[in-house]
Structure 1
């Protein structure tokens, strides 16, 4: 039955779900219309907030672009590429392909969501190339599905924020250690429940016919042949010598080691410089590295194009009061025993319009935490409820799927049917467990 349902939803999404950029534009127009309706006398301030906020994600956009490009460049190092292929060969049946892709991606998401974006794309691609019987759209959905788990991982933006001295809500809720959030019994229980059951749901959705296998549509990579040493000019010697790449790469690796030993957390900037440094160190020459970098840049245009639109949407949500109204309405109909559930649901709803954990906490935290504490709700559980809700609807929000889809050459409609079923399952399991654990 689940296979039939997944097939119906897949056909529906292929017919009716537009391109991710169209979704971003439609969401922009939707929040404009609602915001203007809520503030009919103030259209220009809302319009100004959109324009001012449009470039809020500019640094983040560049971070994501570098994350994808440096990660793919590192993966193209011959011995790393061969290692990934060896791991991919373990998935010698479609069932193993789906589960292996999910579990490796989930492990990466637990370590760091930025790292997982690269790992998920690479593994889905390698596993699919070794298993023609695996349904490629479902395999990509399996690589993306662990995005619902990231808030319980080591890079949980909300969990790490409230564990930091002098965070913006410290005067209200204090500093809460990670032992009460991402490492708490309730969080670990929900994480394990989803980790175990989501692959089962994926297997139950696997189609038995009309399999779409992976089609490598990449252009043939340019093979850069090193000229004969005797004929190298001085400039060519600089391009082909391994010395420059090794020295600069070593400097970057030492810097990363120094930062880690001094307590720096695993953020996007440190991951990017680490990937960049390892690539320089291992590619053998600056020429090889730059060629790999060039070939890795072919699929990043959706990130550059669409991320600014979501930054504008978040700005309108905040300036118009729309986001606050959604949160306050959910809060008004909840009690002490149901507050966390309604917080979770409201966070999932807000995330569809404002897909950013840190940005959503800045919008939702100041409203949700004081209201919950007045009812006697533990602020640590309020924070995790927001985190789980933010991660939950990532499954049906194209924003975080863009890097993965760009690398693998698919559109959001290709995986939306499967992601929708997974979204329902995650929401159901998390809501039920919250009733007993929070």
Structure 2
């Protein structure tokens, strides 16, 4: 039954779902229209807030892009790629293929969502090559769907933000260590529950007929440099020597270790330095690292293009009062026991309009945290409720799927039908668990 529903939904989505950039522009126009009728103001004021907000999150955008790039470059280290290829050989049946792909991707998302993009892409391609009975669009959905777990992992934007000294809400909620957010018992339980049950849903959605296997595309061979540039000059020797990459990588890793010894908690900057340093150390030569970085950069172009639009949407949500109306509406009917659940639902809704954990926290945190604390709700659980809600609807907001799709050569409409059904399950299960754990 679930397989039949997934197949029909997938075919409908492929017919009617537009490109992700088109969705970003449509959402921008939608927020303008709704914002105007929610709190009628001069259209010029809404446009001004959009333009002003367009560049507000440039620093955060750079942090996110580096998080993605450093993770992808680390995953392209030869021994990491070979390890993934070896693991793919164990996916001998379609169900094993779906489960293995989900599990490997989930573990990668826990470590770093940027790492997970390329790990999932490499692994799903290797599995697809070896298992022609597996439905490749569902395999890609299995690789992407663990995005809902990243909020409990080491690159959780909200969890790391509130653990950063002098974050923008520190005066209201204080600095919250990761032991109370991403490493708390309740977070671990929700993570494990989703980790165990989501692959089951994926296997139940697998089509019995009309299976579309992976089709390898020919990759054009790299042109060999000829002529005078082949000469092994001192400049080329500097690019190829492993000494420079190892040394600068060790310096970065030494910095990371000393920071942890001195009591620094995980935050976006330390994660970026750590993965950058590991990539330099394992790639060794600066030339090889630079090539890997250049190849990874293409996958970030949709983020660089679309993130300013979503930053503008966040600004309009704030200036028009629409964001506050959504949050206040749910908070007004919540009690101390249900506040985190309504926060989760509100975050899921806001994330569809503004798919950025950090940007969403900048909008939702100043409204949600004081209201929750007034009811006696732990600010750590409020932060995680926003994080879970943000990750939940990433399944149906195509923005963060763009990098992995660009690597595997599919369109968002090929996987979104499966992701939509997974979103229903994730939302229901997480809501129930939060009711008892938060």
TM over 0.5: yes
Q: After the TM superposition, which residues 379-398 of structure 1 pair with which residues of structure 2 at under 5 Å, given as runs? A: 379-398=379-398
Q: Does 1:29 align with 2:23?
A: no
Question: 1:17 maps to which residue?
Answer: 17
Q: Which residue of 1 aligns with 2:159?
A: 159
Q: Deviations over 1:222-270 (max 9, x none)?
A: 275899xx96344444444444444444444444444444444555544
Change (3 A) 1:130 1:225: farther
- Taking the aligned partners of 2:73 and 2:292, their CA distance within structure 1 comes to 5
Which deviates the most, 130-139 or 266-275? 266-275
Matched, 1:88 2:85: no
SS of the residue corresponding to residue 342 of structure 1 reads helix
Matches within 5 A, 1:150-299: 150-164=150-164, 166-217=166-217, 219-222=219-222, 232-283=232-283, 285-299=285-299
In the TM superposition, residue 34 of structure 1 has moved relative to its aligned partner by 1.4
Q: Is the 8 A contact 1:226 1:240 kept in 2?
A: no
Is the CA contact 2:106–2:149 (under 8 Å) kept in the aligned structure 1? yes
1:13-45 CA deviation, whole Å, 9 max, x = no partner? 100111111111110111111122234332222
Deviation larger for 308-317 or 271-280 = 271-280
Give the 3-state SS of the residue equivalent to 2:212 in structure 1: coil
For residues 187 and 249 of structure 1, the distance between their equivalents in structure 2, rounded to whole angstroms, comes to: 33
Looking at structure 2, the residues matched to 383 and 291 of structure 1 have their Cα atoms a distance apart, in angstroms, of: 38
* Larger deviation, residues 317-326 vs 143-152: 143-152
Give the corresponding residue for 1:348.
348
| Other structure's SS at 2:222 match | coil
TM-superposed CA distance for 1:216, in Å, is 2.9
Conserved? CA contact 2:6–2:205, under 8 Å = yes
Alpha-carbon distance between aligned partners in 1 of 2:251 and 2:259, rounded to the nearest angstrom: 12
Per-residue CA distance 1:128-154 (angstroms, 9 max, x = gap): 233222222111111111121222233
The equivalent of 1:336 in structure 2 is 336
Gaps of 5+ in 1: none
Secondary structure at 1:103 match in 2 = helix
User: What do residues 157-214 of structure 1 show as CA deviations (whole Å, max 9, x unaligned)?
Assistant: 3334444555444444455444443333333222221111111001111112222222
Per-residue CA distance 1:73-105 (angstroms, 9 max, x = gap): 444443332222112212222211211121122
Q: Does structure 2 conserve the Cα–Cα contact (< 8 Å) formed by 1:97 and 1:134?
A: yes
Preserved CA contact (<8 Å) 1:348 1:389? yes
Please give the alpha-carbon distance, in whole angstroms, between the structure 2 residues aligned to 1:331 and 1:65.
Answer: 33
Query: Does residue 1:45 correspond to 2:42, yes or no?
Result: no
Deviates more, 1:384-393 or 1:412-421: 384-393
Distance 1:76 1:175 in 2: 35
Asked whether the 8 Å contact 2:330–2:346 carries over to 1, the reply is yes
Give yes or no for the alignment of 1:325 onto 2:313.
no
Find the aligned partners of 1:244 and 1:168 in 2 and give their Cα distance.
38
SS of alignment partner, residue 351 of structure 2 = helix
Question: For residues 241 and 55 of structure 1, what CA distance do their matches in structure 2 show?
Answer: 39
Q: Are residues 244 and 20 of structure 1, via their aligned partners in 2, closer, same or farther at CA, if it must alter by over 3 Å?
A: same
Partner of 1:401: 401
Which residue of structure 1 aligns with residue 416 of structure 2? 416
Are the equivalent residues in 2 in contact too, given 1:115–1:271 (CA < 8 A)? no
Query: Following the alignment from structure 2 to structure 1, what is the Cα–Cα distance between the partners of residues 73 and 178?
Result: 34
Aligned residues: 438
* Equivalent residue, structure 2, for 1:436: 436
Contact 1:351 1:389 in 2 (8 A): yes
What's 2:6 paired with?
Answer: 6
Tell me, in whole angstroms, the C-alpha distance in 1 between the residues paired with 2:160 and 2:338.
Answer: 25
- TM-score, reference length from structure 2: 0.88
Describe the SS at the equivalent of 1:90.
coil
Alignment check: 8 A CA contact 2:249 2:277 kept: yes
* Stretches of structure 2 lacking an aligned partner (at least 5 in a row): none
TM-score (norm 1): 0.88
Name the CA distance, whole Å, in 2 between partners of 1:171 and 1:72. 35
| Counterpart-to-counterpart distance in 2, 1:280 and 1:186 | 36
